[in-house]
Structure 1
Amino acid sequence: MIRVYKIVALLVVGFTFMACPADDSPSSEPLRDYQEVYDEELVEIENFLDTHYVTVDADFNTTFTEIPDGGTQTPISEMPELTHIPVTLNDVDYKVYYLRLNEGNNENPTALDSVYSSYKGQLLDKTVFDHASTPIWFKLEEVIPAWGKIFPLFKTGDFVENTSTGIVSYSGYGAGVMFVPSGLGYFNIEKALIPAYSPLIFTFSLKRLRYRDHDGDKILSKYEYGPDLAEEAIDTDGDDYYDYLDVDDDADGVLTKEEVKFTYVDGTVTKTGYYPYTGKSTDDPLTPYDDRRGIPRKFTGPIVPPSTLPSPASDDSDFTDATRLRRHLDKTCKPPYTN
């Protein structure tokens, strides 16, 4: 079924088949059978992994070298860092190999989010077709499919900015290499140095990320799409608008962002805030509101500070119970709210 979005701007959300910007206009070759092409390319990719070794420097830059006759270097195919995931697209079950050079320390993006990445793109003959040593922001929805599958397997690290020079230093960030069949890349598109039907190698690092809110309803899209970004996104009210693109998730006539709003007093000033989808594990004493409270269910009890509640606290579970029906998804629950 074709979905019609409630927000006109979101009509342009699509897939660009681009992993990185380029000035050249693409051309295309006649369309071939996806399975036939993949069967050929899997042999090429696995042969590359069997016949090459990789050297990695302290910044996770990579150099691929063919193992000479009689060489004792460890082929990529035998590295413990090499693994693969299954990806199904266009009725083809792909095996996507990747090297986990460093997992990262902090947060994983989802395929709906933006990543700040440095990268190098190569063909199997090691021709470099693109390179960004300085990180660039990418929306994972707008790049080749493989990026949206592999980047979420890595985490961001830490960064420190030198206030006098403006130079940002990164540490502990995720870094890896993905080996991409053309069916998860450009397929029959020929662009710049990339011939049609070319498997690709991307060495990349995940420096930072931005969680996105596609419909601006104050709930991150990663919470509204569904568990593990299931193939079919969530449509709570069955109105043919996915929740992450729906400004009224339960079709009760009240905008979602109004249902997740609360007010609090900061000194003598009444201000507005928005409940996080899930509250923090500990309260930040510097904020005048309780950070532990996520979006509540339809509230039925008195408001008391969680610190004064017994454990378990029945009324506080209105904010914290993992299985609760949050009020923006409950069309029987409308403002005005007591909390």
Structure 2
Amino acid sequence: MNKFKYYFILLLAGISLVSCNKSDDDVVTVPLRDYTVQYKADNDSIEKYLKTNYITVTNEPGTPQDQDVVIKKIVAGDGNVSIWDQGTYKLTSRDVYSNDVTYKVYYLILREGTGSAPTNTDKIVAAYSGNLLNNTIFDTSNGYGVPFNLFPYSAEGNTVIEGWSEIFPKFKTGTSSTNSGSGVITYSDFGAGVMFLPSGLAYYGAGSGAIPAYNCVVFSFKLFDLQRMDNEYSISTTTGARVLIGDGVPDYLEDNNGDGYLYDFRDTVKYPHPPGDLVDDTDKDGIADFVDFDDDGDGFTTRFEITKPSNQIGIGTLDGAIFNYGSRLYYPWDAILTDDPSTPNTDEREPRGIPRKPSGALTDPTKPESATNPKKYVEDDYTTAPRLRIHLDNSFPVKQN
């Protein structure tokens, strides 16, 4: 990275460390270190840590201690095998692009989990313990699940460091049960692992509490549960705060390439050269679908396009017979044909998913298709798989000539 680009990025980032001179009257601004240079040092430190420390894991399903982790430094002759060399748990890595650096982030899979994997924009419930590379523990949830929001631009919730957003989607939730007497929720078969984060994906030059600036951090964690999010937001004209609105389609269904990750590449300081395979942007307008109110760029909002007609909500008629259209105001992604037995007073069935462009006969076959002479929907338009859903098809609704 040349010097001009380096200082330009620092200027735009607007983040600095502040220290006082001997008189405590003047403030000296210290620029952030170069991300690429710092990452090389961090990666060396992490690989050394993996080769000089060993791990023990408590494997006691059904107990609060299940998948608890202890990491200690190897003492010569103690017979312990390093995290790097052990074969009990899979040590793997993933490439993460951030601040124009491609980080190689190591993580250890203790248990993948049996439920669903979050995207990096969902909310999760997780237990955790964090330590420095000298194995000093700086924070822990003491085995209890804590809610977090993985989306760094979220308008609500307890957001996390970037490294968490990059590693949690590689794991799945488990199953939960609630004690009818105490109301205590317990989890089983949950995903569990350890992430080894370079400072650029953690607290970097700012540090945090007991974590010094430019320090790598290690987190062991258990992924208990998740909440799917719909993260389209607007900016309040009075407070300047983000207001979560959503477009009716959860983020995980707007992950077009199916990799479990969604990024807002409008932040060109952080992402000056985003890899093309990470982009989830149907209309190529520079706004990723998960924060775009009009995914296909046809001038009609996604929420408008997936809204059910007012006469097709609840119980109605279809071809002269009684028909349950479902109680939602919006089409679900796909048809929901099974009612949830745990909610006997609510019928969750939705026989029609988000439709494609209608393929039936024209309203008036003697005239060309237009906004005033649309084609009619047929049942296959709501259920055919795969299909191009109308909010991703910029040729529908048909515009008025």
Tell me which interval the TM-score lies in, with the shorter structure as reference length: 0.7 to 0.9
C-alpha separation between the residues in 2 aligned to 1:110 and 1:301? 37
Moved more, 267-276 or 60-69: 267-276
By relative contact order (CA 8 Å, sep 6+), the higher-ranking structure is 1
C-alpha separation between the residues in 2 aligned to 1:169 and 1:88? 36
Structure 2 match to 1:9: none
Q: Which of 170, 175, 181 matches 2:198?
A: 181
RMSD: 3.0
Residue ranges of structure 1 left out of the alignment (5+ in a row): 1-15, 17-27, 303-314
C-alpha separation between the residues in 2 aligned to 1:318 and 1:300? 7
Identity of aligned residues (%): 39
Q: Spell out the pairing of 1:220-239 with structure 2 (5 A cutoff).
A: 220-227=250-257, 228=259, 229=262, 231-236=278-283, 238=285
* Deviations, residues 175-206 of structure 1 (Å, cap 9, x unaligned): 10000011111111122100011010001111
C-alpha separation between the residues in 2 aligned to 1:94 and 1:127? 24
* Deviations, residues 16-53 of structure 1 (Å, cap 9, x unaligned): 9xxxxxxxxxxx96411222222222222111111111
Matched, 1:135 2:136: no
Structure 1 match to 2:239: none
C-alpha separation between the residues in 1 aligned to 2:281 and 2:385? 18
Q: Which of 243, 248, 266 matches 1:218?
A: 248
Task: Give the aligned residue type for 2:396.
Answer: C
Task: State the Cα distance separating 1:225 from its structure 2 match.
Answer: 4.6
- Name the SS for the 1:50 alignment partner: helix
Structure 2 match to 1:325: 388
Task: State the Cα distance separating 1:168 from its structure 2 match.
Answer: 0.4
C-alpha separation between the residues in 1 aligned to 2:38 and 2:288? 34
Moved more, 129-138 or 250-259: 250-259
C-alpha contact 2:306 2:354 (8 A) present in aligned 1: yes
Structure 1 match to 2:356: 297
C-alpha separation between the residues in 2 aligned to 1:285 and 1:264? 19
Task: State the Cα distance separating 1:108 from its structure 2 match.
Answer: 0.5
Q: 1:278 to 1:74 in 2, by over 3 A?
A: farther
C-alpha separation between the residues in 2 aligned to 1:248 and 1:84? 35
Task: Give the aligned residue type for 2:147.
Answer: W
Q: 1:54 to 1:294 in 2, by over 3 A?
A: same
TM superposition score normalised by structure 1 = 0.77
Structure 2 match to 1:243: 289
Q: Which of 190, 212, 230 matches 1:195?
A: 212
Matched, 1:278 2:308: no
C-alpha separation between the residues in 2 aligned to 1:75 and 1:53? 4
Q: Which of 153, 156, 159 matches 2:176?
A: 159
Residue ranges of structure 2 left out of the alignment (5+ in a row): 1-14, 16-28, 61-65, 153-159, 233-245, 263-276, 317-321, 362-377
Q: 1:91 to 1:248 in 2, by over 3 A?
A: closer
Give the number of aligned pairs.
Answer: 297
Task: State the Cα distance separating 1:166 from its structure 2 match.
Answer: 1.3
C-alpha separation between the residues in 2 aligned to 1:68 and 1:247? 57
Task: State the Cα distance separating 1:291 from its structure 2 match.
Answer: 4.4
Structure 2 match to 1:260: 306
- Name the SS for the 1:247 alignment partner: coil
Q: Spell out the pairing of 1:40-119 with structure 2 (5 A cutoff).
A: 40-57=41-58, 58=60, 59-80=66-87, 81-119=90-128
C-alpha contact 2:281 2:295 (8 A) present in aligned 1: no
Q: Which of 120, 134, 138 matches 2:129?
A: 120
Task: Give the aligned residue type for 1:275.
Answer: Y
- Name the SS for the 2:55 alignment partner: strand
Structure 1 match to 2:369: none
Moved more, 260-269 or 161-170: 260-269
The structure with the larger Rg is: 2
C-alpha contact 1:264 1:288 (8 A) present in aligned 2: no
C-alpha contact 2:130 2:137 (8 A) present in aligned 1: yes
Task: State the Cα distance separating 1:322 from its structure 2 match.
Answer: 4.1
Task: Give the aligned residue type for 1:234.
Answer: D
* Deviations, residues 128-181 of structure 1 (Å, cap 9, x unaligned): 111113211111123222111110000000001113211001001101000001
TM superposition score normalised by structure 2 = 0.66
C-alpha contact 2:122 2:151 (8 A) present in aligned 1: yes
Q: 1:297 to 1:115 in 2, by over 3 A?
A: same
C-alpha contact 1:29 1:196 (8 A) present in aligned 2: no
Q: 1:248 to 1:87 in 2, by over 3 A?
A: closer
Task: State the Cα distance separating 1:113 from its structure 2 match.
Answer: 0.8
C-alpha separation between the residues in 1 aligned to 2:109 and 2:340? 38
C-alpha separation between the residues in 2 aligned to 1:288 and 1:66? 56
